Structure formats: C-alpha cells, structure tokens
Amino acid sequence: MEAVLSGLMGGLGLVFAPMAFFFVVLGTVLGIVVGAIPGLTGAMLIALTLPLTYYMVPTDAVVLLIGMYVGSITGGLITATLLRMPGTPSNVMTTFDGYPMARAGRPGRALGLGIAASFAGGIISWIFLLLLAKPLSIWATRFGPFEYFTLILMAMVLIASVSQGNLVKGLVAGLLGMLISMPGVDPSAGQPRLTFDWYMLNGGLKLLPVLIGVFAVSQIISDVLDLGRKIERVESQRAGLLLPLRDWIRHGANMLRSGLIGTLVGILPGVGASIGSVIAYTTTKNLSKTPDEFGKGSEAGIVASETANNATVGGALIPLIAMGIPGSVIDAILIGALMIHSITPGPALFITNGDVVYAMIAACLVANFVMLAVMVASTGWVAKLAYVPRTYLLPVIIVFCVIGSFGLDNVMFDVWVMLIFGVIGFALERARYPLGPFVIGFVLAPLMEAKLRTGLMMTGGTITPMFTRPIALAFLVVAIVLLVWPLVGEWRRRRAAAAA
C-alpha cells in the first residue's frame, strides 16, 4: 500500500507539471466538447489525436488521452438531457429521465444530478483502479502463455456476447478484426503471410488508419445519412447545476451501488460504458420504491446511468494496466497509444514504466475534478456546440482523418487503408455488427497468437496445459459458458414461444 501511495504521489507530481496539467485540462475540455456534439465520439477524438501524440513525451500523451476519455463520457449527458440525443452511446439511459426532467422546466437540476453522478462514478472507480491495478498485475505475472491465450479467448467471447446485436455477429466482427491484423511478416517465424507479394503489406495494416477508418470515417458516413433529423431543444439553466450536500447524501447509496456496478462492468474486457449504465439503471429501477417514475424524469435514473457510465472508465483501465487487456474500445486505442511510445501494457508495466502507470492513474483522478469544474462552469456554452451545423463539421473532420492517417508514416497507403476500413465499418454497422469486437480483435490477435505459439513450442505441440492448469481451465470454462449460455437462452425462448 505504501508503494502504491508513493507511486501515486509521484504520478500526481508528473500530472501537475505545467505541460502535463495543461494537457489534462485540454483533453478533458476537448472530450466534453466532442461528447456534447451528437455524432462525434470519444473514440473518434482519441483516434484522431493519436498522430499528434507521437511528438509528445509518453506521460503527456497518456494524460491527454485519459482526459479526453473522462471528458467524452461526461459531455454526452448535456445533449442527452437537453436534446434527447445522447452525445455518446453510453448516455442513452440518461435521455430516459434527463430529457423529461428538462422538459418539465428543471434542466439545471437534471444536468446538476448528471454532473455530480458522473464525478461520483469517476471517483469510485478511480479508488478501485488505485487499489486493484497493482495486485492484479502481480497476480497476472503468474500467467504463462496458455493462461494468456485462454484469457484473451474469454475476453473475445465476452466482448462478442455482450455487444449490441447478436452473438454470432459479435463473433464474426471479432474474428474479422483478428484476421485483418494478420497480414505482414509473422513475428514468430519471420514468414510473410497474407501480403499478396505486395511490399506495402509486409509491415501489416497499422492500428491507426484502421481505427480512424472504423470509428471516424464510418461514423461520418452514418452522420451524413442522418443529417435531416430534427432536434427538439430545451434551453440550459444555471440554477441547480451545483448539487447541494443534502442531495449528495440522499443519492449516496445509489451513487455507490451504480459506481460499483460500473466499475465491475468496466473491468470485464471490452464491455464498456453503455452496458454499465444499462445494468445500473435497471438495477436501480428494480430496487426503487417508485419504479413508475423511471422514464418520466426520475432523479435516481439520471444518477444511476451517469454514475455507472463514468465508473466504467476507471474500471476499464484496471485490466489494461494490469494485464494489457483493453476494458473498452477506447482502452484498445490507449493500448495503441502506449505501443506508439514503445510501452507494452501488461503485468510488467508497473516495473518497466511505473511512472507512466501512476501518471495515468493520477490523470484519471485529476481529469474528474477538471471535468466537474468545467461542466459546472460552462455547461450552457458547451450545450450550444450541439447546434454547430454538422454539414460544415463533418467534411472538416474527414480532412483531419486524412492528415492523421498520412502523418503516421507519410505514405498514402495508410490513407487508402483508412478509407477502405471506413466503408467496411459503415457496412458492418448498417448490418448491426458491433465494431467494438472488431477493434479489440485487431488489437489482441497478435498477442493471442504469439502466446498460443509460445505455449505450443514449450510443450512440443500439445494443448494439454490448457486443461490441466487451473487458471487457464477456469478462463476456458468461462469462455465456453459465455458462448453456450446465449444459445441456450435463445433455444429456450423459441421453445417457450412455440409452446405458447
């Protein structure tokens, strides 16, 4: 514990250095702004910012991105409350009660509850991040290749099974992401594969152009299709933005419960903020003495949704730091950011780059305070950004997508990759294939394959340790249960429907 606290002090020292602090504030503000503009997401912002981080020191780069992560999850609550348009997918549940409350003449109160809940969720999950990341990373050092392989296998099945859409589409998206990561010289054997004898593919498809394509370009195409949508608007109000102490106490139990749910959901690989807020909202509604008020402007509904979605941020950073497994799509992008700076996330991260880890943890804390201050001070102005005409904004973002992809290695090949994956991502989304598993599959596949092949080399080609080593077996069993459970559920539903 002493080492953790001293590490945290060191991290806070790094974050409060003038340049790093500037980047935390900048990242949080940009995250809030982008989160508040419907159609733009935190993943898009972070993917587009990655190229600029090449030129920063690693600490500045990660604190900037963490600030964006925290800000973007929170910024979405403004449009969810005032426009019934969730700024990011994780704010969907907030629209159910935030908008009715705003329509009923209490927009300041609705936003104030959301801001306070977001802060509470961020702080609750941050405490778990601080306390769990190091012990979990120490535990993870016991993992051999088969444990890692089965852990990633479990993560992939989990991501596919809880993503939007059905399990099979989630699995196809995840496997496609894995396949797309395979062209290039195979690092285990030095053998070129899937390169079509084309030298440009020897280095494989890079993460950044694929990310920008899948998250930014495909989103822009979807947004252009949606340009005609009319927006109902409620004006913002300053009254009620700062929650009095008695309200913090009154909603304390809900904040704590939803914060715990959000943190736990965040820890599960790849599940993300949307699911966290849905589970917390449903749980709070089920426990409420007045469930009928939910969906009509319930304070508890706003608190549950916003606490949980912000709590997933800290939760999702735990497996990233401790094991190198992304807890959400944005965490997959953060892994990319770390790798750009030659930092490999995983159990050894505390030893090899302890300063960067504690800077990330400290940035998560500081970004939550910055978020609280910025949201209370400027929600009215930020709300106006939602009316920036998207007809002007979207083409400008495409230009930045081109710059971001080209800036990686100064080759047009990466721009073409971005464009092609923009179209592929758009097509997948139209058919309701979740994009989260695709990106996480792309990031995790090289590690998964490397672990499997290392394990097989150690055992002379046998996979028996997968069944004889307890941790590997446990991950494998969970993966099988996660795979079979939805199918059994579907079969039982169909049988019940046929019987009825």
Partner 1 sequence: MQDRVDPRVEIGVALMVIVIAAIALFETRDIPPGSFEPLGSAPVPQATAGLIILMALGLIVRACLDRRPVARPPREGLADAGAVLLLTLLYVTAMHYRLTTFAVMTTIYLVLTIGTLIRFRPRSMPLVLALAAVVGFGSQYVFTRVFVVDLPGL
Closer residue to partner 1 in complex, CB, 4/175: 175
Q: How many residues bind partner 1 (CB under 8 A)?
A: 59
Residue in 3, 377, 412, 481 binding partner 1, rule: CB under 8 A: 412
Stretch that binds partner 1, among 41-49, 308-316, 327-335, 452-460 (CB under 8 A): 452-460
User: By CB under 8 A, is residue 169 in contact with partner 1?
Assistant: yes
For residues 73 and 86, the answer to whether their CB atoms sit within 8 Å is no
Contact letters for partner 1, residues 311-330 (x by CB under 8 A): --------------------
Residue in 127, 168, 388, 481 binding partner 1, rule: CB under 8 A: 168
User: By CB under 8 A, is residue 247 in contact with partner 1?
Assistant: no
Residues 331-360 that bind partner 1 (CB under 8 A): none
User: By CB under 8 A, is residue 452 in contact with partner 1?
Assistant: yes
Closer residue to partner 1 in complex, CB, 158/304: 158
CA gap 383, 303 in Å, rounded: 20
Residues 34-53 that bind partner 1 (CB under 8 A): 51-52
Q: What burial class does residue 108 get, using C-beta atoms within 10 Å of its C-beta: 0-12 exposed, 13-18 middle, 19+ buried?
A: buried
User: By CB under 8 A, is residue 430 in contact with partner 1?
Assistant: yes
For residues 163 and 436, the answer to whether their CB atoms sit within 8 Å is yes
CA gap 270, 160 in Å, rounded: 9
User: By CB under 8 A, is residue 472 in contact with partner 1?
Assistant: no
User: By CB under 8 A, is residue 464 in contact with partner 1?
Assistant: no
- Backbone torsions φ then ψ of 346, nearest 5 degrees: 155, -175
User: By CB under 8 A, is residue 487 in contact with partner 1?
Assistant: no
Nearest to 154 by CA among 454, 446, 471, 461: 471
The encoded tokens of residue 53 equal 């981080």
User: By CB under 8 A, is residue 406 in contact with partner 1?
Assistant: yes
User: By CB under 8 A, is residue 489 in contact with partner 1?
Assistant: no
What 3-state DSSP class applies to 101? helix
Which residues are CB-contacts of 2 (< 8 A; sequence separation ≥ 6)? none
Residues 51-70 that bind partner 1 (CB under 8 A): 51-52, 55
Closer residue to partner 1 in complex, CB, 16/387: 387
Which residues are CB-contacts of 57 (< 8 A; sequence separation ≥ 6)? none
Least separation in angstroms between CB 161 and partner 1: 14
Residue in 85, 120, 205, 220 binding partner 1, rule: CB under 8 A: 220
CA gap 9, 170 in Å, rounded: 41
Residue reference for tokens 């989160």: 35
Query: Which residue type occupies 262?
Result: G
User: By CB under 8 A, is residue 392 in contact with partner 1?
Assistant: yes
For residues 43 and 337, the answer to whether their CB atoms sit within 8 Å is no
For residues 156 and 440, the answer to whether their CB atoms sit within 8 Å is yes
CA gap 212, 182 in Å, rounded: 19
What 3-state DSSP class applies to 460? coil
For residues 147 and 471, the answer to whether their CB atoms sit within 8 Å is yes
Residue in 2, 18, 228, 499 binding partner 1, rule: CB under 8 A: 228
Least separation in angstroms between CB 467 and partner 1: 17
User: By CB under 8 A, is residue 483 in contact with partner 1?
Assistant: no
Closer residue to partner 1 in complex, CB, 172/300: 172
For residues 137 and 349, the answer to whether their CB atoms sit within 8 Å is yes
CA gap 321, 331 in Å, rounded: 10
Closer residue to partner 1 in complex, CB, 138/403: 403
Closer residue to partner 1 in complex, CB, 139/406: 406
User: For the chain, give me the number of helices (H) and strands (E)?
Assistant: 22, 2
Nearest to 147 by CA among 352, 357, 353, 347: 347
User: By CB under 8 A, is residue 178 in contact with partner 1?
Assistant: yes
For residues 473 and 213, the answer to whether their CB atoms sit within 8 Å is no
Least separation in angstroms between CB 183 and partner 1: 8
User: By CB under 8 A, is residue 158 in contact with partner 1?
Assistant: no
Least separation in angstroms between CB 463 and partner 1: 10
For residues 122 and 364, the answer to whether their CB atoms sit within 8 Å is yes
Closer residue to partner 1 in complex, CB, 5/423: 423
User: By CB under 8 A, is residue 432 in contact with partner 1?
Assistant: yes
Residue in 230, 286, 292, 461 binding partner 1, rule: CB under 8 A: 461
Other beta carbons within 10 angstroms of residue 214's beta carbon come to: 28
Alpha carbon 490 to its chain centroid, in Å, reads: 28
User: By CB under 8 A, is residue 496 in contact with partner 1?
Assistant: no
| Contacts to partner 1 by CB under 8 A | 51-52, 55, 168-169, 171-172, 175-176, 178-179, 182, 186, 188-189, 191, 193-194, 196, 220-221, 224-228, 391-392, 394-396, 398-400, 402-403, 406-407, 410, 412, 415-416, 419, 423-424, 427-428, 430-433, 445, 449, 452-453, 456-457, 460-461
